[in-house]
Amino acid sequence: MTRYNGHKNWNYWNVSLWINNEEGLYYLALNCVKRNRTKSEAAKQFVELLSSSNGLAPKTRDGAVYTIPSVRAAMSEM
């Protein structure tokens, strides 16, 4: 399996980059982790909150889609 900067692929890396470096996204992710029992539930809530504003699949400014698995991986150290 090809890895991208230590992540599963470019999408996972890019999502992690944005969540862990953009203050608002970081605190949103951290609050989701605190309010849910599992990282999977937290990731689902995070994606739902981002998509609730326009109903579209949320993406980073670079075009990477915030998927539940990619967000869960980004939350692994929270």
Domain boundaries, the chain: 18-74
| Whether the model pTM is above 0.85 | yes
Q: Taking Cα atoms as reference points, which of 75, 66, 77, 69 lies closest to residue 29?
A: 75
pLDDT of residue 56: 78
Cβ-contact 70, 16 below 8 angstroms: yes
Q: What is the pLDDT along the chain (78 residues), one digit of tens a residue?
A: 578 999 999 999 999 999 999 999 999 999 999 999 999 999 999 999 998 766 778 999 999 999 999 999 999 999
pLDDT of residue 57: 83
CA distance 78 to 65: 20
pLDDT of residue 52: 73
